[in-house]
Structure 1
Amino acid sequence: MTAIAAALLGHLTRALIGWPGYIAILTGLVVLAAAILVARRDVIEWRGLLPLTVLGFIAWCGASVFWSGAQWMSLAGWVFQAVIALIGITIALCRDLIQIVRAAGGVFRVLLAVSIGLEILSGILLDTPFPFLGIGGNLAVGGPIQGVFGTRNLLGFVAVLALVTHIIELRTRSVQRGTGIASITLAATCLVFSGSPVTVVVSVVILAATSALYAVRRTPAERRPVLQYALLGLVIVTMIATYAGRSRVIDLLNAGGEFQVRYRLWLSTWRAIDANPIEGWGWVGLWRGSVPPFAGINWAVGQEHASALNAYLDVLLQVGTVGFLIFAALCAFAVIRSWLLASNRRTVTYAWPALVVVTILTTGAAESFPLVEGGWLLLVICAVKASESHSWRARLPN
């Protein structure tokens, strides 16, 4: 619970005690994680558990330090990424899935409750923003609100994850019925008041994925492969249709010009990608606005950004086509394995990794959350848990 909370509360922690305090927290966690892995090395079955795509992506990001134009910044960004990955791997190896779901649910409840409490204090009781926390105090006018996460999109992202988690908690009777219903109401309230157009799209995708997964789980085992291929075809057709009608989609979702801002940023990012298409500019994770190409991109769009607001473009920019292919493989294996796990296991708990991965990767089309902090931690956890039963290496002889 502490590790999940620390990964999700990067903005709040840095706002209160700065980067040194945040680094101290992560250092303490990674020391504990390493000690746990050493202590349990004889109990953990390592063969086939750690996805090669996760390890390969981390390794390629580390290798990019050597050709980066800002090597010390790249090294710091890579260590930050590797630390969170190690914490996620430890959680996945040392806890059952239901324990992870319950821990995540407890964290989401607290963080969303604190977020709503601060928004009520700022927007209604005091009627003044809290700039140092990134809270605008807009609750009284219907939002958007940011909570403890700094942006409405990150709040909406966490609220969607919380909805998925709390519904599964309620279905598995991991919490009392009243607590489960109150948690779902809290997450839905944060989702609505966040006013995030990105989250609207993610919510629609999650609703569709949940419906499809429910249909697959209710289908007899002998007919599931046919339904799975039909769903795969439907997803491909939908993606092609969405891309073909992308202008219309952007117009429908262009709330307050937000998607237009993203579009300009993506064009500027793509021009920087063309300069180093194979190996990229070097991994840094969160952008450093003082070094190229990030300084040039921000100057071109006239705004300061800490990411490309698109995880896949960010990967292309920082670690090039090679890194993108490894990351694409990581995402593909995580989706396929978690979906098969959710389809073939009777317990509804196994639906959690599949729905969380879909949420993370869908959000990645408009934010870079899957690459840093809480999004990266949850992606690693789900990838490792999904590989437990579907890794090809598990079939090799001892």
Structure 2
Amino acid sequence: MAVYSKHPASAPPAPPIREKTGHVMLRAWCVFVLFSAFAGTAWVNAFGLPVSIVITLGAGLLSAVLWVIVRPPLQWRRLPWGILAYLAWATLSVVWSAWPAATWLTLLLLYVTTLQALFVGSVLSWHELVRAVGAGLKWVIGLSLVFELWVSVFVKAPVLPGFVARTESVDPILYWSRNNLFDGGRIQGIVGNANLLGAIALVAIIVFAILITMSPQRRGWPTAWLALSVYMFVRAGSATAVVAAAAVLLVLATVLLMRTASKPGERTRYYVIYAALAVGGTVGLWVIRDAIFGALGRTADLTGREAIWDAVLSRTGERPWIGWGFSTPWVPTEAAFDGWIIDHGESVMQAHNMWVDVSMQLGIIGLILMAGIYLAFIWRSWFFAVDRPRWDLEANRPYSTITLLPTLLATVLLVQGVAESNPLMLWGWMLVVMLAAKVKQSPLVGEGPAERRAAIERGDVVGLRQ
């Protein structure tokens, strides 16, 4: 019978550390919150607006209660003050809003989304955050495929919101699913919009690629989900998502190049080269935009978006500084929006450009605040990605692929914001707030009060610096 030495060379064997049940449940709730943000329109299409409002408000209330119970460490000086200033200005717009009822309704959505983003970012570590985002995206991508299979195999006809099969022809913009899975057309998934599905699939590609590098020994399932995300990205056929993917590849190559710099001033040379390429590339793309969008099956005016921008900017010019009042999205039942801009026989619910949308709602002041939010987010995310992790004299620690996440997702949101207003609401706004706050609160992966608290909750006291 084996006997342990009185002077062992190592600690006796022990069972693996198990996470606390409460923290497991907390992380599961965060996955649901993230899924709800990515699939927000799915709740409306499946159960209608009243049920969606109840789910949204109920989830926000529960997260607020959990936040009070968990009480994660919070550095008040490192709060995202730019985002809070934007919320304050949007709230103040109620005073002069031309549509006060729509302002209050959409402000409630903005408050809940912001609260959820801050909650998830504060209670999860960086490693847990990436895995939770990946888990939420799995549900969106997986259910989108199952939904399209159900429509094509069993219903065999386009489906309207509310699971209503439609045999007679209506405008395709009204369909939840167009039954295109087997005929090669664009698919829309549970979100009911091909452009949204394309952007979400691109986010999933980025997240699953990072997850593969985080766990090289268990890359089977992340690789499968990555392949499925690529398939959904291709089938969505979103021109904006394709342009965003090209921008992501360019930014990724730039970050990896910057990480190779070993001498003072070497990055400066790279910055100058890339700035020149960016200016030249932008001018070149604008000159040949007709050919580019023609190859992507779109018109040079982004499928009629220029006409929408002209109408919105015309209204902006009437109140240039303070705008007409917050409403993101535009509430179609509001008289000022009902029938104002018509597309395919339906009232448009956004300006299809986040900057044009903000300028109309909150004026030049709101535009400055939003620009400040993105400038601060991009600045911190960039150096979070290109700088080596350092909190003491050790200057040669390896880079973490997790640090690529904020800057790559910021790229997706910026490109999408040119043709869509989605970065101002639901998952777009949630990613901006969550990642901007997380980078400020935890600028080092695995280090800092928030990261240590999450590790303790997992029961991982030994591997705090892993």
Distance 2:273 2:140 in 1: 39
Give the aligned partner of residue 323 of structure 1. 366
Q: 1:25 to 1:142 in 2, by over 3 A?
A: same
**Cα distance, 1:339 vs structure 2:** 1.0
State the one-letter code of the partner of 2:410. Answer: V
Q: Is 1:274–2:317 an aligned residue pair?
A: yes
**Cα distance, 1:113 vs structure 2:** 1.3
Equivalent positions of 1:230-379 (< 5 A) are 230-243=273-286, 246=289, 249-253=292-296, 255=298, 259-291=302-334, 293-295=336-338, 297-299=340-342, 303-345=346-388, 346-379=399-432
Q: Which runs of 5+ in 1 are unaligned?
A: none
Equivalent positions of 1:165-184 (< 5 A) are 165-173=207-215, 176-184=218-226
Give the aligned partner of residue 142 of structure 1. 184
Name which of structure 1's ranges 270-279 and 234-243 shifts more when overlaid on structure 2.
234-243
Q: Report the TM-score when normalising by structure 1.
A: 0.91
Q: Is 1:30–2:60 an aligned residue pair?
A: yes
Distance 1:369 1:156 in 2: 13
Contact 2:130 2:211 (8 Å CA) reproduced: yes
**Cα distance, 1:293 vs structure 2:** 4.4
Contact 2:289 2:300 (8 Å CA) reproduced: no
Equivalent positions of 1:55-134 (< 5 A) are 55-132=84-161, 134=176
Name which of structure 1's ranges 267-276 and 327-336 shifts more when overlaid on structure 2.
267-276
Distance 1:233 1:240 in 2: 11
State the one-letter code of the partner of 2:306. Answer: Y
Aligned to 2:418, what secondary structure does the other structure show? coil
**Cα distance, 1:322 vs structure 2:** 0.6
**Cα distance, 1:14 vs structure 2:** 1.3
Q: Which has the higher helix share?
A: 1
**Cα distance, 1:287 vs structure 2:** 0.9
Distance 1:256 1:230 in 2: 32
Contact 2:337 2:347 (8 Å CA) reproduced: no
Larger C-alpha radius of gyration, 1 or 2? 2
**Cα distance, 1:387 vs structure 2:** 2.2
Name which of structure 1's ranges 92-101 and 173-182 shifts more when overlaid on structure 2.
173-182
Q: 1:45 to 1:26 in 2, by over 3 A?
A: same
1:204-223 CA-partner distances (Å, limit 9, x unpaired): 11111111122222332643
**Cα distance, 1:289 vs structure 2:** 2.6
State the one-letter code of the partner of 1:15. Answer: N
**Cα distance, 1:175 vs structure 2:** 8.1
Equivalent positions of 1:40-55 (< 5 A) are 40-41=70-71, 43-55=72-84
Distance 1:136 1:381 in 2: 33
Give the aligned partner of residue 39 of structure 1. 69
Contact 2:79 2:437 (8 Å CA) reproduced: yes
**Cα distance, 1:375 vs structure 2:** 1.0
Give the aligned partner of residue 23 of structure 2. none
Q: Percent same amino acid at aligned positions?
A: 25
Contact 2:339 2:347 (8 Å CA) reproduced: no
Equivalent positions of 1:146-225 (< 5 A) are 146-173=188-215, 176-220=218-262, 222=264, 223-225=266-268
Contact 1:8 1:373 (8 Å CA) reproduced: yes
**Cα distance, 1:54 vs structure 2:** 0.6
Name which of structure 1's ranges 219-228 and 22-31 shifts more when overlaid on structure 2.
219-228
Aligned to 1:295, what secondary structure does the other structure show? coil
Q: 1:51 to 1:233 in 2, by over 3 A?
A: farther
1:238-270 CA-partner distances (Å, limit 9, x unpaired): 335445655555555452788132122112112
Count matched residues.
391
Distance 1:52 1:230 in 2: 33
**Cα distance, 1:19 vs structure 2:** 2.3
**Cα distance, 1:304 vs structure 2:** 2.1
Aligned to 2:303, what secondary structure does the other structure show? helix
Contact 1:289 1:298 (8 Å CA) reproduced: no
1:265-306 CA-partner distances (Å, limit 9, x unpaired): 112112121122111111111112343643364149964211
State the one-letter code of the partner of 1:91. Answer: V
Q: Report the TM-score when normalising by structure 2.
A: 0.78
Two-structure CA RMSD over aligned residues (Å) = 2.5
1:67-120 CA-partner distances (Å, limit 9, x unpaired): 112212201111210111011011112211111110111111121111112212
Aligned to 2:403, what secondary structure does the other structure show? helix
Q: 1:189 to 1:372 in 2, by over 3 A?
A: same
Distance 1:182 1:243 in 2: 37
**Cα distance, 1:309 vs structure 2:** 1.1
Contact 1:288 1:306 (8 Å CA) reproduced: yes
State the one-letter code of the partner of 1:145. Answer: I
Distance 1:350 1:13 in 2: 32
Give the aligned partner of residue 172 of structure 2. none
Contact 1:357 1:382 (8 Å CA) reproduced: no
Q: 1:303 to 1:175 in 2, by over 3 A?
A: farther
Q: 1:240 to 1:280 in 2, by over 3 A?
A: farther
Distance 1:265 1:302 in 2: 14
Contact 2:213 2:401 (8 Å CA) reproduced: yes
Distance 2:149 2:300 in 1: 27
